[in-house]
Amino acid sequence: MKFFIDTANLDQIKQARDLGVLDGVTTNPSLMAKEGISGQDNILEHYLKICELVDGDVSAEVISTDFEGMVKEGELLAQIHKNIVVKVPMIQEGVKAISHFTRQGIPTNCTLVFSPGQAILAAKAGAKYLSPFIGRVDDITWDGMDLIEKIVGIYMNYGFNTQILAASVRNSLHIVKCAELGVDVVTCPLSAITGLAKHPLTDIGLAKFLADHKKSNG
Ligand code: G3P
């Protein structure tokens, strides 16, 4: 199971990298805006900084919604670094663009996926990654994990090469549930990754070990 961090914040990317468990990074236009990164040159430069921090795939999202625009943007993004994956929204023009990039050997991450039908289409178009959004499905009181389970089943039926990259992960339990389903990649906030380490019995046990050591060693 690969761990990606879902942020454009360089400090958080470094913290996750320094844990030694980070396999890649995903970003989106909202996350770039949150870091105050704007203007094409600054955006491209920021992606390069991320690629230089992490030895793994870095998803960079197009903002065009038409085929020609997506292709132009995607080709520019792909030139930044060998690890850039072009992130494309699941709309008809996006499917066309993913098919095009697949033929060109440019890896893609199909984003904003909310249904098994969309997952089938992205795999047929040859996306390297598929990003179904767990948290946003939960937000509307549907079941995000149920969506993931359905997609895992479908992809297994046909042996699709597209990797399921569970996105909109909001907590550590989402990560564990994805692992139970055999999801290829999770992209999450730093807090969801570090949250995996937490257990009250670990804290209690450590406190006792240290207290016992102090008793006998002074
Ligand atoms: O990058 C897409 C996705 O991970 C966004 O998550 O929490 O904004 O729904 P969220």
Q: Which tens digits make up the pLDDT trace of 5-47?
A: 999 999 999 999 999 999 999 999 999 999 999 999 999 999 9
Question: Cβ(64)–Cβ(73) under 8 Å?
Answer: yes
Q: What's residue 18's pLDDT?
A: 97
Residue 111 near residue 89 (C-beta atoms within 8 A): yes
What's the pLDDT score for residue 152?
98
Q: Which residues line ligand 1 (CB under 6 A)?
A: 6, 26, 28, 133, 135-136, 167-168, 170, 187
168 Cα to the center of ligand 1, angstroms? 4
When pLDDT is averaged across residues 113-121 and rounded to a whole number, the result is 98
What whole-number percentage of the chain has pLDDT above 90?
A: 100
Q: What is the mean pLDDT of residues 42-67?
A: 98
In whole angstroms, what is the distance from residue 47 CA to residue 38 CA? Answer: 12
Average pLDDT across the chain, whole number: 98
Pairing of the two strands 185-188 and 163-166: parallel
Q: What is the mean pLDDT of residues 120-135?
A: 98
Pocket test for ligand 1, best of 25, 131, 168, 174 (most atoms within 8 A of CB): 168
pLDDT tier for residue 86 given thresholds of 50, 70 and 90:
very high
pLDDT the model gives residue 144:
98
Angle CA(44)–CA(68)–CA(50) in degrees, nearest 5?
20
The pLDDT of residue 212 is: 98
How far does the centroid of ligand 1 lie from the alpha carbon of residue 174, in Å?
Answer: 13
Nearest ligand 1 atom to the CA of 30 is 8
Cross-strand bridge partners of residue 132: 113
Please identify every residue annotated as catalytic: 87
Strands (E), the chain: 2-6, 24-26, 57-61, 84-89, 108-113, 129-132, 163-166, 185-188
Q: What pLDDT was estimated at residue 218?
A: 83
Three-class SS state of 186? strand
C-alpha 208 to ligand 1 mean position (Å)? 40
Q: Whose CA is nearest to atom 10 of ligand 1?
A: 168
Region 181-185 average pLDDT: 98
